[in-house]
Amino acid sequence: MTQSADALQSSRNALLAIGLRLSGFVPGIRLFLTLQAALALGSAILIVGQSYLLAQIIARVFIGRQKPEQVFSLLLWLLVLMLLRISIPWLNEILAGHMAVRAKALVREKLLKHLLLRGPAQLKTEQSGELLHTLSSGVESLDAYFTQVLPQLCTALTVPIIVLATVLLTDIPSGLILLVTLPLLPIFMILIGKQSEQVTRQRWQELAQMSAHFLDVLQGNTTLKLFGRSTAQRLIVRQVSERFGHLTMQVLRIAFLSALTMEMGTTLSIAVVAVEVGIRLLSAQLLFAPALLVLLLAPEFYQPLRALGPQFHASLESAAGLQRIFALLDTPLACRNEREAGQELRPPIQSLQFAKVHYSYPGTNRSAALVDASFQAHTGQIVAIIGASGAGKSTLAHLLLRFAEPRQGTISLDGHASSTIPLEQWRKLFAWQPQHPWIFNMSIAENIAMGCPRASRAEIIAAARKAGLHEMVNALPQGYDTPVGERGARLSGGQIQRLSLARALLKRAPILVLDEATSALDTASEAQVLETLKAWRPSHIILMITHRLQTIREADLILLLNEGRIVASGTHAELQQRSALYQQLWQASLSNLEVVL
């Protein structure tokens, strides 16, 4: 019995914890619960009133031999109460549906905002398909929580109490039977439900992993075809689907067992009350009207608990999705979004400074990704960042764009530390062309306009010209209105890079960060892009992360990274004289060898 009480307490606390957590970012949930309790109380009063009137009408007509017209007023009142009782579920459905829609919108918005604030560096550890499943099915599970679980829970906590009080006032022995049998039903329900809780959580995780796997298969379809792995993936998909189906059947078996237990428990409890009332009625220890009232109220006493059984299993499904949502929301952000900071920077920006910046990735045993990094860049300079793979180039860019925050040291613009500037304002000062740009399934013009949504068509074309993209776009039948497909499927690698560069140039930010901006371009296109950068140099700070050393010869400052440290810095001529590693890389590039950095 102690374990049963603990299980009941645990389940109640779990539902309460979900409600309290949701109330933190879904305004109005307390008012919703208050209205639900009021509707449940009204329903309980109507049930008692309806049962009382029905018992009185039957007793007067069949026992008191009254004529129908003598009980006509009672029949009218009974009709009114029945109509009111019918209206309560209708009001409940409208209220719960409205609250569910509002809650889903707010939770989805908050979760998406949090994921976007985490940035690409943190989200690398997550699976896109699993996140998509959580944003869709996970948030949709709130629907059952608000439209089924909470209304039925309020009803189950209110109606039995009112009915029990009425029965105790009418017939104490019958009330004591109801009181004794009351705890048995929820205990049985929860003991069986606890078995399904773990299975439901496993089922949810399996469904999330299946969604992630399906997305990987679809996105990697070309690779699977080239390596002849399509058949093997079909077998894996079948195995995952069968495993998910097995878990679903386990949940259903437990749910059916729970329903059977609740029905049997309810039926036996009502039978006990009926037998007890019948015996006392036959022995003239109980009048007909009170006996009939007790018999009418007994099924109403157990009905909310019986209906709570299926909703309890629905709550397990909702809880599994909400636990994942809460886990994502509880993940700390890698960067601080200090909206209350008083610093406000506007272009032009004259200087950028790294001062003894140190960073290591959380949750890894690897050595620091960036150690004691210090340098300065000024408007009018092109700064090249080179180094071996894993040397810290991408980490430096992520810190600069505030996808992560330094563990030590400061990054500042014109002497203002990044920690004192709101994140949104900081990023407005940077235009970024990533190594693997994301192209949306929209038109070419819409993709370029991501850098400046209010840009005119003339401004979009001007940015495309500077990126060497205009001639190619102009040759297309639909021109700038040509859809590019998902992830730019209809564009070549070089065209994607030029589109991404046009997007960055259109933003007109004072600091331009280019990560392998010309790696997929031919020599002529690369020369055109470099000429564009030279034209932009006087009014911008340009940082170039590159492996193609021929593109950095005219850079004002070259930073050579190795194992997270800036091991050398200077111009091309200076590094030729004092850095053996730079000399080695430069000689390899002159020999037209593949420089593996």
Only one residue has tokens 């740009």, namely 437
Would you state the structure tokens that stand for residue 399, as one six-digit string?
A: 């810190």
With beta carbons less than 8 A apart as the criterion, state whether 204 and 250 touch: no
Identify any residues that bridge with 565 across adjacent strands, giving them in sequence order: 562
Cβ atoms of 64 and 141 within 8 Å: the answer is no
Q: Residue 339: is it exposed, middle or buried by C-beta count within 10 angstroms (0-12/13-18/19+)?
A: exposed
439-508 matches 2-330 in CATH topology: no
Closest to 16 measured CA to CA, from 265, 273, 319: 319
Tell which phi-psi region holds residue 85, choosing left (phi > 0), alpha (psi between -120 and 50) or beta: alpha
Local structure of residue 362 (DSSP, 8 states): T
| 217/204 Cα distance (integer angstroms) | 20
Alpha helices, DSSP H, located in 331-456: 393-400, 423-428, 444-448
Neighbours of 454 (CB within 10 A): 6
Domain boundaries 347-429+509-597, CATH class: alpha beta
Q: Rounded to an integer, what distance in angstroms lies between the CA atom of residue 564 and that of residue 388? A: 10
Which residues are CB-contacts of 7 (< 8 A; sequence separation ≥ 6)? Answer: 187, 190, 191, 194
- Name which of 293, 270, 299 is nearest 181 in CA terms: 270
Span 293-316, pLDDT tens digits: 999 998 888 888 877 766 666 666
Angle at 346 between CA 342 and CA 348, to 5 degrees: 145
* Angle (deg, nearest 10), helices 523-536 and 493-507: 10
Global pTM reads: 0.68
SS3 46: helix
Q: What is the pLDDT of residue 256?
A: 72
- Using CA atoms, how far apart are residues 127 and 205, in angstroms rounded to an integer? 12
CB atoms within 10 A of CB 16: 11
Separation of alpha carbons 394 and 282, rounded Å = 88
Residue ranges per structural domain of the chain:
2-330, 347-429+509-597, 439-508
Q: pLDDT tens-digit profile of 330-343? A: 877 665 555 444 56
Burial class (CB in 10 A: 0-12, 13-18, 19+), 287: middle
DSSP secondary structure string for all residues of 492-525: -HHHHHHHHHHHHHHH--SEEEEESTTTT--HHH
Domain 439-508 has CATH 3.40.50.300: yes
Q: How far apart are CA 457 and CA 449, in angstroms?
A: 9
pLDDT of residue 80: 93
Burial of 591: CB neighbours in 10 Å, binned 0-12, 13-18, 19+: exposed
| Measured distance CA(509)–CA(415) in Å, rounded | 18
Paired tokens of 559: 């930073």
Q: Among 87, 190, 209, 96, which Cα is nearest to 151's?
A: 96
For tokens 């049962």, name the residue.
Answer: 51
Instruction: Using 50 as the pLDDT threshold, list the residues of the chain that sit under it.
Output: 1-11, 339-341, 593-597
| Token code pair at residue 358 | 């140190």
Instruction: Determine the pLDDT at residue 343.
Output: 63
Give the Å distances, CA to CA, from 301 to 173, 181, 191, 261, 306.
Answer: 15, 11, 21, 17, 10
In contact, 314 and 68? CB cutoff 8 Å: no
Cβ atoms 479, 461 nearer than 8 A: no
Query: Backbone phi, then psi, for 413, in 5-degree steps?
Result: -120, 120
- Residues 141 and 131: their CA atoms lie apart, in Å, by 15
Integer Cα distance of 468 and 486 in angstroms: 22
Q: Report yes or no: 320 and 200 within 8 Å, Cβ to Cβ.
A: yes
Angle between the N-to-C axes of helices 288-330 and 2-23, in degrees from 0 to 180, rounded to the nearest 10? 60
Phi and psi torsions of 213, nearest 5°: -65, -40
CATH class of 2-330: mainly alpha
